[in-house]
Each structure stands twice: as C-alpha cells, then as structure tokens.
A and B are shown apart, each in its own frame.
Chain A
Amino acid sequence: MENKYVKYLRNETLPTEFCVGCGCGTVLNLFCHVIDEMQINPDDIITVTGIGCSSWIPSPYFSADTLHTTHGRAIAFATGVKVMKPGKHVIVIAGDGDLAGIGGNHLIHAARRNIGLTVFLVNNYIYGMTGGQVSPTTPSTVNTATTPYGNVEQPMQIAELVAAAGASYVARWTTYHVFHLKKAMKEAISKKGFSFIEICSQCPTSYGKRVGKREGIDQLLDFKENSMNIQNVSGMREDELEGKYIVGKLVERNRLEFVDGLLNINAQFAEGVR
C-alpha cells in the first residue's frame, strides 16, 4: 500500500535525501495534505525556492512548476512570476539563511508592497546544508562553525519583522504543532496579499548536535515543552521569554494587494488612450 499523498511528489526522487528526523520532511508532508484538502490542482501552483535544505521541499520533491533560483533571490523571482501570472498560487518555501539572511531585503520589501505571495520560511536556526555556520536567527548562546568561541549577535525575530513591514498574514508555528500549522497554511494560501509563516524546524545534523539534541525527536520535545501561545505572553519580561518559542497568529489584516493596484493603474491608462 502506498501513501495517497505520494502522488503530489516526484516519485523517482523518493525516499527523500533529508537527514533522519529532519523537519523539512514534515513541512513537505503537511504541504501535500493542505493541497489535497484545499483541492488545488498542482498545475495552478508555481513554487519558487532558493538554496538550502528547505529549498529541496519544492525542488525536487513537490511536483509542480518550480523555479530553483539563486541564493536569497527566491522572493525577487516570485514577484516577477506573480505579476505576470496573477491567477496562480505562487508559493515560496525556503530557509532562514536564504530568506532572512541573504535575501532579507527582498523579504522586507515584498511584505511592504503586500504582493500576493505565500511564503513558508523553514527556520532551522543555522545554515544547515553548508555545515552549521551562524545565521541571522541563531540564538546568541549557541556556538557554531563560524562562531566557535561564542556568538555575540542577537537573533532576528523574522515573523515580527515581516508583520511590521506590512504583510497581510503572519504566523509562527513549529513542526511539532502539525494541526495548527496545517490550518495556518490553509489560511495563508487562501489569504489575499503577502502571507508569511515562520516554521520553526528541527535540524539534528547541524543545529541539534551543537545544543545537545542529536535526534530530531529531542528538538520536537523541546518545541512541545517550551512553546507559548502569543496570546499568553503579553506583559512578560524578555528574560522570562528566553529560550521560548512564541507561536500563534501575529497579524491578519486586509490591505491593497500589489498586483491589483498595478492592474488598476494599467486599466486607467488603457481607458485614457482610447
């Protein structure tokens, strides 16, 4: 018997190349469930991705039209795709080093423009594929390959940044919260405007071994024990929230979408010419 969701994958690439217990596989699994339950035809999806472990979720595994782009530029490519094909679901799945580190500027300005992309940022807190270099989200207590004597940088809170930049939908969940994450993915795909989910994921190979959690399940149990819903954290001090994962929906609002505004202007000028 074969899993009925395998039909959404490129079968010749299976089993996946992800490490044992990697969270990217869970995101792939949930994405297949969401597409199946929303009854979206994979032909109407264009996935765009950059470089990194989580960029392997759409390319090569998820079987839809895929752009595997240069490092950090996934959102720049996706902006072009969305403007030319506004009727398609343009979905960006990439990692924290790709979207927040190297492509940070593209992320902020896509959120500011409120262009109708769906972005799933798989945050594993490190550059996992290249051997564990420090990323913009690495907690300051963790020693990495490039900060072996201690990390003096403070981590970036990407979901809060994107919410402040003006996105329509922003949420943060972990790979342990599969039911919440599945619901949030559905909301993000159906929401008009820039929708963003930060998915805190486990990386047993590059991150887990540096924090004493060598198996995927150890980090999942950490997510389970140290997650707090965003509704319960108001009024708490910063030192109380140290090491906690604040999950939940940060923002949902209605703003003018970029492509709609662009088409409105085009329509005005087309009338003027006549």
Chain B
Amino acid sequence: MGIKRKKIEIEIDERLCKGCDICVILCSEKVFTISKKINSNGYYVPIPSNIENCNGCLICELICPELAVILEKTELDELVAL
C-alpha cells in the first residue's frame, strides 16, 4: 500500500504579480524568496526557489490577490510507502 508521489510545479505570472509578498511570508515551508528582479510594472516578483519543500497546501494560490501564483500538482506513477 502507498500513496502516489506528487510532483508540484509553481510559477508566478510576472504580468499580474504586484510584489505584495503575502505568499513569501505566509508560506509555512518558506518556498518563496524575495527577488531583486523587477517586472515590467516595477514590482519585485518573488521566486519559488525551494519547490522541493512544498507540501501542496495551496494557501499561496488561494490567497494571492492578483491570481499570479500558479501551482500545478501532477500525480506520478511511483508510490510512496506509508
């Protein structure tokens, strides 16, 4: 018995992000870091630098006021032992 391992991909839409850093601070696993790169609107867009820590709780996607966080979960075939 086991559950399927999930692969998680996170991307931030640079067109929409306004750099409010809510995702950076509220993420319990510290997945995001504040970047030094600005987007075309002049905001500092965070980078999902520690994706391997992500537990897929979805708070970043749900709380983002600009719908800029895109989190995709895909189920892999390999099983994780319980």
Contact = CB atoms under 8 A, between A and B. Distances in A.
Interface string A1-33: 111111001000011101011111110111011
Contacts of B62: 26, 29-30, 33, 178-179, 182
B38 interface: no
A217 B25 contact: yes
A220 B66 CA distance: 16
Contacts, number: 79
Contacts of A33: 62
B13 A20 contact: no
The residue in B25, B62, B69 that gathers the most chain A C-beta atoms within 10 A of its C-beta is B62
User: Is the contact region of chain A dominated by helix, strand, or loop, or is it mixed?
Assistant: helix
Interface string B1-40: 0000000000101011011111001100000000000000
Given A20-B18, A216-B22, A220-B22, A26 B70 contact: no
Contacts of A28: 65, 67
B65 A18 contact: yes
Contact of A14 (B16, B59, B61): B16
Contact of B70 (A3, A15, A30, A221): A3
Contacts of B66: 15-16, 18, 25
A55 interface: no
A33 B69 CA distance: 13
Contact of B67 (A22, A32, A182, A215): A32
Interface residues of B, number: 24
The residue in B16, B20, B22, B67 that gathers the most chain A C-beta atoms within 10 A of its C-beta is B67
A175 interface: yes
A117 to B, nearest CB: 25
Contacts of B13: 1-3
Interface of B: 11, 13, 15-16, 18-22, 25-26, 41, 43, 59, 61-70
19 contacts: A2-B70, A3-B68, A4-B70, A6-B67, A15-B15, A15-B16, A20-B19, A20-B43, A21-B18, A21-B20, A22-B65, A26-B62, A29-B63, A29-B64, A29-B67, A179-B62, A216-B65, A217-B21, A220-B63
